[in-house]
Structure 1
């Protein structure tokens, strides 16, 4: 399947608003990839597929995760996490994506992970700051993204964690671990200077 066919298949699987968001994430992921040295082709592909399952019924997402023995622990937390794992599975099985780096960038674009690759970071941040996003901290995160991928991601995770706390929701432990690892890595870098 070529890129145009893939784009048409993804577009057909989501409402117009989600497709516009996806295009924004693709554009931002490519920009961030160029700025920070990630592979722009992989960034574009992961961004294209990152929300493939987002608008599926949550029961369908959960069933796919159970049936294929994906990360069962996400099912104990907010359903907003589920589409990433389902999407990585579908990218591999439906679209034949074999590149584990691309699949991981899809899989971890909502939660992050402790040892995020550059591509993981680019796709995750692109999802936070694409032009269609409007939430109180987004402009600050966009400004940070001009100078530091990690500082922008920390601010993004802080925003997410703060939002979940304000709603009385449980926080997926991997997100906290990701944030802490980014802080730790930043502190270690500062100490080396």
Structure 2
């Protein structure tokens, strides 16, 4: 699917600020894919559609989790987590994108996971460090993203876990698994 068509589809699903975020994630993902010799077309497509389900109602997303057989534990960790896994299924059903690599990158773009593919890492990090993001620790990860993507993934997971703990919010296990894997690989 051509970039213009994909962006037009996504623009109808998102608020203006979220659409602008999506364009920045796409641009960042393309740069990361070029830097790490990844698949640029898949990075572009996954980035464009990564927030496809972001503004669906919590009830609709919960229904998708149940009806599509997604892990039911997703329902226990807050609605913010649902748009990645649900979006990965929605893009197949509603848009016709049936690329397992693209779908997986969308699925895990919020939580990360152990043994991420290069495409999954690119989308996870591009979403985290796109130039519009401003929060403590992002600049450090932004620099690391183009030096060592694995270390950048660890840093992003560490920062996310720290943020969630400080706000007494649950941490999805995949994020802990990502953190532990990358930490152990560093040693």
Per-residue deviation, 1:123: 0.3
2:186 and 2:98 map into 1 onto residues whose CA distance is 32
**CA distance, structure 2, for counterparts of residue 146 and residue 103 of structure 1:** 24
> What is the CA-CA distance between 1:94 and the residue it aligns to?
1.2
Helix, strand or coil at the partner of 1:94: helix
Aligned to 1:113: 113
Asked whether the 8 Å contact 2:50–2:106 carries over to 1, the reply is yes
Counterpart of 1:55 in structure 2 is 55
Secondary structure, aligned partner of 1:135: coil
In the other structure, the counterpart of 1:191 is none
Deviation at 1:79, TM superposition (A): 1.8
Q: Which moved more, 1:88-97 or 1:16-25?
A: 88-97
Partner of 1:136: 136
Which aligned segments of 4 or more residues in structure 1 are displaced greater than 4 angstroms?
Answer: none
Query: TM-score w.r.t. structure 1 length?
Result: 0.93
Give the Cα separation in 2 of the matches to 1:97 and 1:184.
35
RMSD: 1.2
- Cα distance per residue 1:13-47 (max 9 Å; x no partner): 11000000000000000000111121011000000
Instruction: Describe the SS at the equivalent of 2:95.
Output: coil
TM-score after normalising by structure 2: 0.96
- What are the equivalent positions in structure 2 for 1:56-135 lying under 5 Å apart? 56-135=56-135
Cross-structure match for 2:43: 43
Question: Shift in Å at residue 2 of structure 1?
Answer: 4.2
Structure 2: tracts of 5 or more residues without a match: none
**What residue in structure 2 maps to residue 183 of structure 1?**
183
In the TM superposition, 1:23-42 aligns within 5 A as: 23-42=23-42
* Residues 87, 107 of structure 1: 8 Å contact kept: yes
CA contact (8 A) 2:161 2:171 kept: yes
